[in-house]
């Protein structure tokens, strides 16, 4: 299955696509302040990977709003790679 998402969900810029390893989905959530130009870096930027199985694709396609809200609340330390398994 192929995923290619690049859109605003709530107040977050969201990007998702199949990762180059063919086993995971890259999922990026960015937050910009109200009125901030998207030409400038976001206030924060969080990246997680999601397992590329049927449940992972369902999570991204059917529960994307909940996924975005959860990733937005995550505290991810710099340099740490997070993979969510559904």
Q: What is the pLDDT of residues 65-78, one digit of tens each?
A: 999 999 999 999 98
pTM over 0.85: yes
Give the whole-angstrom CA distance, residue 69 versus residue 6: 16
Mean per-residue pLDDT over the chain, rounded: 95
Task: Find the angle CA(44)-CA(9)-CA(67) to the nearest 5 degrees.
Answer: 80
Question: What pLDDT, on the 0 to 100 scale, is given for residue 16?
Answer: 98
Question: What pLDDT, on the 0 to 100 scale, is given for residue 86?
Answer: 86
Q: What is the pLDDT of residues 43-63, one digit of tens each?
A: 999 999 999 999 999 999 999
Give the domain range for residue 79.
4-84
Q: Scanning the structure block, which residue is given the tokens 């930027």?
A: 45
Count the domains in the chain. Answer: 1
Q: What is the pLDDT of residues 12-26, one digit of tens each?
A: 999 999 999 999 999
């Amino acid at each position: 299955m192929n995923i290619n998402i690049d859109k605003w969900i709530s107040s977050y810029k969201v990007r998702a696509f199949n990762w180059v390893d063919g086993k995971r989905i890259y999922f990026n959530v960015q937050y910009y302040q109200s009125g901030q130009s998207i030409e400038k870096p976001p206030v924060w930027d969080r990246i997680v990977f999601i397992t590329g199985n049927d449940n992972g694709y369902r999570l991204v396609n059917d529960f994307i709003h909940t996924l975005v809200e959860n990733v937005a609340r995550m505290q991810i330390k710099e340099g740490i790679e997070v993979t969510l398994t559904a």
